[in-house]
Amino acid sequence: MQPKMKKCMKNSVTFTVLFAAVLFAACTTKQATGEAAVSPVDTILLNNFRPQVVNNIPQTRVERAKFPIIDMHSHDYAETAEQIEEWVRVMDAVGVQHTAVMHCAWIGRPFEEVIEAYAPYKKRFRFWCCFDYSDIDTPEGVARSLETLERYHALGAVGIGELGDKGEGDLYARPVEGVGIHIDDPRVKPLLEKCAELRMPVSIHIGEPIWMYLPMDETNDGLPNGVAWHVDTTNCMGYEGLVNTFENAVRDNPKTLFIACHYLNMNHDLPRLGAMLDKYPNMYVDIAARVAESAHTPRATREFLIKYQDRVLFGTDNGMDAEMYHNIFRVLETNDEHFYIPEYNYHWALSGFDLPDEVLKKIYHDNAERILNEYK
Ligand SMILES: [Zn+2]
């Protein structure tokens, strides 16, 4: 080994000298012509960064989930009967038993029309409705909101959602937004109590991933998507305030079941999220639309998902394409590492969680089934 190494080193030295000589010649030529040396790292924009993985490592396609799925976070994406039919075909192919169509957070038709549109496939979709804040400031208005909730429940609504507060109140609600109405607002309490009575879980989106609040500069680890979804908190509540409103509601309504969408946007601090789950048995999280925010820290996320395997729900929240499902399955099921999914809009590489079968089965299906059936 020794002589060979010496030879390599010698070659290496020779190469270095040669390279330096060429570089020196190039530099002197440029200096002579007045051109500045330009490096690609000074000119390639992060926005144009398109790295290609060169490692000889497993690249797995997962076209069908290992276990049947209940998707607990989706929306009224299909605009026509044909699109609903096509969505069901995709669900059959990828292994989704049924999908939650959340009426809130989607600009669309009234709740009754959503129910009607999906009626031919009513066993494949379950419907989640909004709170009606139209006249929430008066006792009569509150009574009407409660009646609306009961009517939606009778029509088939299994839960409330997706409520959404990014600082200005529940802006995902329909037919009117809940400007200034946070989840711990006393005006919402009668509705939350009614949800407990009707056994309807409340799914709520709180804040945004942490990179969207940080300075938009070279220190922001999630800069590309941070910029795209930047939250200006000048005139509205910031992330900590929003988490407090959520925690107040969960604590003060122990009979109501809350689902914090997108890991409560707390992927950056899973120990804190775990502590909340430990403290509040009426709290769950869904993993919808946070693949990139979790799969760049695969070991920490895997540990979290295993530890809280009874409190995590599968969700997509990202349209109806087969490839969208495949990407999520790859992250949850495989041990693939260092791969990119450009549409998530971060510059970092992802790795799979390689979740054990019993954990996958609970997250894909069993936890949701328990909530939707036994919770009733
Ligand atoms: Zn959503």
Are 120 and 16 found together in one domain?
no
Q: How confident is the model at residue 35 (pLDDT cuts 50, 70, 90)?
A: low
Are 216 and 266 found together in one domain?
yes
CA 324 to ligand 1 centroid distance, Å: 15
pLDDT score recorded for residue 175 = 84
111: helix, strand or coil: helix
Q: Is residue 29 over pLDDT 50? A: no
Q: Is residue 23 over pLDDT 80? A: no
Cα 12 to Cα 61: distance, rounded to the nearest angstrom: 41
Q: How confident is the model at residue 28 (pLDDT cuts 50, 70, 90)?
A: very low
Do the domain assignments include residue 58? Answer: no
Q: Is residue 19 over pLDDT 60? A: no
Residue at 126: amino acid letter: R
Are 22 and 110 found together in one domain?
no
CA 38 to ligand 1 centroid distance, Å: 44
CA 194 to ligand 1 centroid distance, Å: 23
Q: Which domain holds residue 7?
A: 2-37
The per-residue pLDDT for range 210-243, each reduced to its tens digit, is 999 999 999 999 998 999 999 999 999 999 999 9
pLDDT score recorded for residue 284 = 98
Are 223 and 133 found together in one domain?
yes
Do the domain assignments include residue 52? Answer: no
Cα distances (angstroms) measured from residue 103 to each of 21, 120, 152, 177: 67, 18, 11, 13
Do the domain assignments include residue 46? Answer: no
Are 352 and 213 found together in one domain?
yes
DSSP, residue by residue, 110-131:
-HHHHHHHTGGGTTTEEEEE--
Pairing of strands 283-286, 178-179: unpaired
Q: Is residue 7 over pLDDT 80? A: no
Are 138 and 194 found together in one domain?
yes
Task: Name residues with Cβ closer than 5 Å to ligand 1, which is an ion.
Answer: 105, 162, 317
Structure letter (DSSP) for residue 339? B
Do the domain assignments include residue 236? Answer: yes
pLDDT score recorded for residue 86 = 98
Are 77 and 168 found together in one domain?
yes
Are 109 and 19 found together in one domain?
no
Do the domain assignments include residue 289? Answer: yes
Sign of CA dihedral 221, 222, 226, 232: negative
CA 6 to ligand 1 centroid distance, Å: 61
Residue at 328: amino acid letter: I
Are 302 and 245 found together in one domain?
yes
Are 16 and 108 found together in one domain?
no
282: CB partners within 8 A, 6+ apart? 250, 253, 254, 255, 256, 257, 258
CATH code assigned at 168: 3.20.20.140
Residue at 343: amino acid letter: E
pLDDT score recorded for residue 37 = 82
Do the domain assignments include residue 61? Answer: no
pLDDT score recorded for residue 33 = 53
The per-residue pLDDT for range 299-329, each reduced to its tens digit, is 999 999 999 999 999 999 999 999 999 999 9
Do the domain assignments include residue 42? Answer: no
- Higher per-residue confidence, 104 vs 42: 42
CA 292 to ligand 1 centroid distance, Å: 16
The per-residue pLDDT for range 107-164, each reduced to its tens digit, is 678 899 999 999 999 999 999 999 999 989 999 999 999 999 999 999 999 999 999 9
pLDDT score recorded for residue 115 = 93
Cα 73 to Cα 87: distance, rounded to the nearest angstrom: 15
CA 105 to ligand 1 centroid distance, Å: 6
Percent of the chain with pLDDT over 90: 81
Are 11 and 81 found together in one domain?
no
Q: Is residue 20 over pLDDT 70? A: no
Number of compact structural domains in the chain: 2
The per-residue pLDDT for range 282-301, each reduced to its tens digit, is 999 999 999 999 999 999 99
pLDDT score recorded for residue 323 = 97
CA 223 to ligand 1 centroid distance, Å: 22
Do the domain assignments include residue 247? Answer: yes
Are 128 and 11 found together in one domain?
no
Contact 95, 124 (CB under 8 A): no
Q: Is the pTM of this model over 0.85?
A: yes
The per-residue pLDDT for range 42-99, each reduced to its tens digit, is 999 988 888 999 999 999 999 999 999 999 999 999 999 999 999 999 999 999 999 9
CA 162 to ligand 1 centroid distance, Å: 6
Q: How confident is the model at residue 176 (pLDDT cuts 50, 70, 90)?
A: confident
**Range with the largest mean pLDDT of 4-8, 11-15, 91-95:** 91-95
Partners of residue 179 on adjacent β-strands: 169
pLDDT score recorded for residue 34 = 55
List the one residue out of 308, 301, 314 whose CA is nearest residue 353: 301
